Amino acid sequence: MKHVIVVGGGFAGLTTAVYLAEKGIEVTLIEASPKLGGRTYSLYNESFNDYYDNGQHIMMGCYNETISFLKKINSLDKLYIQDSLNITFVHRSGKSYQLKAPKFGYPMNLLFAILNYKALTLKERCKIVDFFLDLMCCSSCDLKDKTIKEWLACKKQSENSIKTFWEILVVGALNTATEKSSAEIFSEVLKEIFLNGNKSARILIPEVGLTQLYIENAVKFITSRSGKINLSEKVIRIETLQNKVTKLITDKSFYDNFDFSIMAIPIYSLEKIENDFNFILPVFQYSSIINVHLWLKENPFKEKFYGLINSKIHWLFSHNQHISLTTSNADNFISMDSSGIKRLFCSELENYFPIFKSKFVVDFRVIKEKRATFIPSIASNTLRENFDSSFNNLFFAGDWINTGLPSTIESAVISGKMAAEKVISNLK
């Protein structure tokens, strides 16, 4: 039986291992930390017997590979899936606006949703519709050297449209500012969401913790097919000979009996491993995300989630006992202490939601992900496109691989499947 070593137990590594195990290939997955999940995992609040995620994740109906992966490991029923696009946005005044598409009549239903998004003037809504009509005919190569800010300016999108519509999409999807992001990659995201069928624009939200959603069932899938998962084991050196990886040395053991190895870890983790690589790893800039979890005496929020317009908080997710607040592109807040962030966010909530009072909060957790995602800039696109391994039995996986998408769960899953397919193809 062929043997593959997978290094890294996040979405990319687990996806790789699942697809390999499915084909009857012996898999050993090595994870440096004592838990799986990478940047997506669950935590436990003992005081409330309640699970919460390190960061709340929104998925989209266009996440085809993620949906296929979750279906494969028997986890698809743990997702809340909208019938059609429906988001409640809230203004500082407390007034809410719906971006809601009818269930049928694609693509006119999505145009209807935009035309009825009354946070914008009718003229601004028509300009956005014109933008999407142009996008249907737009070649992404025309955007290769443009930022999103430059693209929106070319399409004469108003400042209010940018603040009230476009920045919400950009920060939510790319976790960075319009002046830093590649218009080319954003155009591909927009096409996937809005121009890829009626189901693509739907929101998908886990109804359980991320650990329960994908880690537990992925582990069952792998181990039931004789795969091995070694936690708290760190790869410290990679040895090579004549364009082939010959040995992986860890802080506990070494591996030299394998046919292929897959590095499914972030670049900054890969850089720490001693190696004989004769190629240069790409260098990315990163953007942070802050998640604040508030446990409440009473939860007044009836919707599953809300978007906040022109706020320090971008999204609010309502759970049974707690709410989760997400701020992307959060570098301005990352140096603040947790209590200060909690006070700031509670004050912000009171401004947006008259139904909320800070005195409702009985416990909180603040989680900072300083390198949550790489910035999908024009430069990073080039780095991803040009990166390749010169070793015959070494492949890479991770959301930073050239998948055509930004740093998302879908990108990580696609990269894992791509790596598995390369192995399978080379074994034929």
- Considering only 99-113, 125-139, 143-157, 369-383, which range has the smallest mean pLDDT? 125-139
What pLDDT score does 33 carry? 96
The SS3 call for residue 50 is strand
What pLDDT score does 142 carry? 82
Q: Which residues contact 85 (CB under 8 A, 6 or more apart)?
A: 99, 100, 101, 110, 113, 201, 202, 203
371-389 per-position pLDDT tens digit: 999 999 999 999 998 887 7
Give the H/E segment covering residue 209. none
Mean pLDDT of the chain: 94
The type of residue at 109 is N
pLDDT band at 391 (very low <50, low <70, confident <90, very high): confident
147-173 per-position pLDDT tens digit: 999 999 999 999 999 999 999 999 989
Whether the link from the prior residue into 102 is cis, omega within 30° of 0, is: no
> How wide is the angle at C-alpha 148 spanned by C-alphas 143 and 151, nearest 5°?
60
166-206 per-position pLDDT tens digit: 999 999 899 999 999 999 999 999 999 999 998 999 999 99
CA atoms within 13 A on the CB side of 165: 26
Q: What is the pTM assigned to this prediction?
A: 0.95
Phi and psi based region of residue 328 (left: phi greater than 0; alpha: psi -120 to 50; beta: remaining): beta
What pLDDT score does 192 carry? 93
Q: What does the DSSP 8-state code read for residue 136?
A: T
Please identify, in words, the CATH class of the domain defined by 286-374.
Answer: alpha beta
Q: What does the DSSP 8-state code read for residue 143?
A: G
Residue 104 CB neighbours (<10 A): 10
The SS3 call for residue 410 is helix
- CATH code of the domain made up of 3-40+208-284+377-427: 3.50.50.60
φ, ψ for residue 75, nearest 5 deg:
-125, 0
Rounded CA-CA distance 407/124 in Å is 30
- Taking the domains of the chain in order of start, what are their residue ranges? 3-40+208-284+377-427, 85-201, 286-374
Higher pLDDT, residue 39 or 18: 18
pLDDT surpasses 90 at 139: no
Residue count (the chain):
428
Tokens of 365: 């957790």
Provide the strand spans (E) within 105-259: 203-206, 228-230, 235-240, 245-250, 254-255
Rounded CA-CA distance 190/132 in Å is 9
What pLDDT score does 141 carry? 61
pLDDT band at 140 (very low <50, low <70, confident <90, very high): low
How far is CA 210 from its chain centroid? 12
